[in-house]
Amino acid sequence: MPDPRITPVAKAGRERILVEAVEFARQALSDLTRPENVGEHRGVVVEGERVITHAFDCLLPGYPHWYWTVTLSRVPRSSKVSVDEMSLCPGSDALLAPDWIPWADRVEPSDISPTDRLPYRADDPRLEEGFEETGEEADRLEAFELGLGRPRVLSPLGRKAAFERWYEGDAGPNTPGTRAARATCSSCGFLMRMDGAARAVFGVCANEWSAYDGRVVSYDHGCGSHSETDAPAQARMWEPAAPVVNEFDMEIVKGSQA
């Protein structure tokens, strides 16, 4: 997007008629704003042959370094000046809003709730066309990557990005929980193996007592809810002694005959 800022100059070559039409341009601005909102004349911008823009300080609150602009022109061999357009333009030191970014491009995964609906992206680089039919050509490809029945499946770029995100996140091997674990997820009975290319590295945790229940975890990840580990036995504060029975105060009663 081109920079909308303008830089007025005092001179504009040999175009004397349009350059000297300062008051004509100022009067034209009365159709756009009140006279008290128009400040000093700051120069002109040459737009083309016999086309010049006059710039006046904008005195509206909140618009420092902005200009009221009036673009004037004339036909060849004529001194009659015409107004082409009028607008409010930023100067070189004006404060501008950042470039507008579509919502679909600026939203982050953390901004999305389960009830939000994302816009369709036809050119999503993470996806590629899926195979919706079987046959000799499809048999040449790995069946677990076909995505039969789906119009698009993960592209190699999409798979690589997902695998790196999962492996480098808190469900990968580089976590305090993994370092403290007695065993990895690869030997856990609660691990559900995945399909496709991910099956070589990842599975899904199915232990409701694990903090990773329902999440993708790497085989070399680990936590304290492994199916084959146990909590450490509590050390005894003292060794229990045999019970002492006082027989001196014991009264033996014989059972009665029925």
At 158 the three-state DSSP class reads helix
Residue 252 in domain: no
pLDDT of the residue at 89: 94
Domain assignment of residue 57, given as a range: 16-90
Residue 181 in domain: yes
Count of domains in the chain? Answer: 2
Give me the residue label for tokens 């901004």.
Answer: 111
Tens of pLDDT, residues 188-197: 999 999 888 8
- DSSP one-letter code for 142: -
Residue 1 in domain: no
Q: What is the mean pLDDT of residues 222-229?
A: 84
**CATH assignment at residue 54:** 3.10.450
pLDDT of the residue at 117: 66
Q: Which has more pLDDT, 11 or 244? A: 11
Q: What is the mean pLDDT of residues 235-249?
A: 70
pLDDT of the residue at 227: 86
> Is the pTM here over 0.85, yes or no?
no
Instruction: Give the domain-ending residue among 71, 90, 109.
Output: 90
Instruction: Give the domain-ending residue among 30, 62, 90.
Output: 90
Residue 186 in domain: yes
Tens of pLDDT, residues 25-38: 999 999 999 999 99
Residue 146 in domain: no
Burial of 218 (0-12, 13-18, 19+ CB in 10 A): buried
Instruction: Give the domain-ending residue among 218, 236, 252.
Output: 218
Q: Which has more pLDDT, 28 or 244? A: 28
Place 247 in a pLDDT band, splitting at 50, 70 and 90: low
Place 140 in a pLDDT band, splitting at 50, 70 and 90: very low
Place 51 in a pLDDT band, splitting at 50, 70 and 90: very high
Residue 25 in domain: yes
Provide the mean pLDDT of the chain: 83
Tens of pLDDT, residues 147-185: 556 788 888 899 999 999 999 999 999 988 888 888 899
Residue 198 in domain: yes
> Which amino acid does the sequence have at 97?
A
Q: Which parts of the chain fold into alpha helices (H)?
A: 16-19, 22-28, 103-106, 136-139, 156-168, 176-180
Q: Is the distance from CB of 229 to CB of 190 less than 8 angstroms? A: no
Residue 194 in domain: yes
pLDDT of the residue at 141: 47
